[in-house]
Amino acid sequence: MGTPADITSRDEATEQSADGIVVNTFEELEAEYVKEYRRAKGDKVWCIGPISTCNKLNTDKVERCRGENGSTVNDYEQYLKWLDSWEPGSVICSCLGSICDLATWQLLELGLGLEASSQPFIWVIRGGERSQEGVSAGVPLVTCPLYAEQFYNEKLVMQVLGIGVSVGIEAAVTWGLEDKSGLVIKREKVKEAIEKLMDRGKQGEKRRNRARQLGEITNRAIGVGGSSHRNIEMLIEFVIQKTRGQ
């Protein structure tokens, strides 16, 4: 796999040699960024996401999330049953992604912060676009960036979309050296962020309403005639024309 620098260099070289770029997002979510990306790439950028919303059947969702843990449809139904036992919108989903390698004591801080919030929570471990899946689901987010582009994701969620609350991470950790980075996640900050997220006051309702609106926009984008649907059609047409020209 190589070092982060090797991966970045390899990705940049691949992007420069590509005929176009396919992005797992939708135009309405990142309109200005998509506009500038297309300007830089000569319009050869197709936003076809979020692909996580393409699976509608429970069996398809399980297959997409199966990974190495061998989850089954029965497991999925048990999770849903547990979730349904709580008030709508009351459960916190905690996920740092499958490449996170925080030290045990740092994960303990996160767990104690979740526990102290007194909110029911489910802790999952897997990769993918957590921010985007949260937007697609129409729910507000607690942001906890650690490295790479995650701090830009946090700015998008908080400053542009207005649906996030930060845990307060101020500096990136070095990938692979997380256990040497000192105290990054603090239980008090986790508790405070969750309480702020779940607040029923004016600001909390504003975040939730905005998140619901984005969830609705997501569904329209992937539907027939939506922006992502149109982008897929344009991508297919581009590939056909490119093949004919060879």
Instruction: Provide the mean pLDDT of the chain.
Output: 87
- Residue 201: predicted pLDDT: 93
Residues of the chain with pLDDT > 70, as a percent, come to 85
- What is the average per-residue pLDDT within 59-88? 74
Query: Is the pTM here over 0.85, yes or no?
Result: no
Q: Tokens for 114?
A: 């979740």
- What is the average per-residue pLDDT within 97-122? 89
CB-based burial of residue 12 (10 Å sphere; 0-12 exposed, 13-18 middle, 19+ buried)? exposed
Region of residue 213 (phi > 0: left; psi between -120 and 50: alpha; otherwise: beta): alpha
DSSP string, 143-173: E---STTHHHHHHIIIIIS--EEE----SPP
CB-based burial of residue 149 (10 Å sphere; 0-12 exposed, 13-18 middle, 19+ buried)? exposed
- What is the average per-residue pLDDT within 145-172? 91
- Residue 171: predicted pLDDT: 81
Label residue 59 by pLDDT band (50, 70, 90). low
Would strands 92-94 and 45-47 be described as parallel, antiparallel, or unpaired? unpaired
Q: Residue 236: pLDDT above 90?
A: yes
Predicted confidence (pLDDT) per residue in 181-214, tens digit? 766 889 999 999 999 999 999 999 999 999 999 9
- Residue 199: predicted pLDDT: 93
- Residue 27: predicted pLDDT: 95
- Residue 163: predicted pLDDT: 96
Whose structure tokens read 């539907």?
223
Q: Could you tell me if 217 and 139 are in contact, meaning their C-beta atoms sit under 8 angstroms apart?
A: no
Q: From CA 142, how far away is CA 198, in angstroms rounded?
A: 10
Regarding predicted confidence, which is higher, 108 or 56? 108
- Domains present along the chain, CATH in parentheses: 59-223 (3.40.50.2000)
Residues of the chain with pLDDT > 90, as a percent, come to 57
Q: Residue 99: pLDDT above 90?
A: no
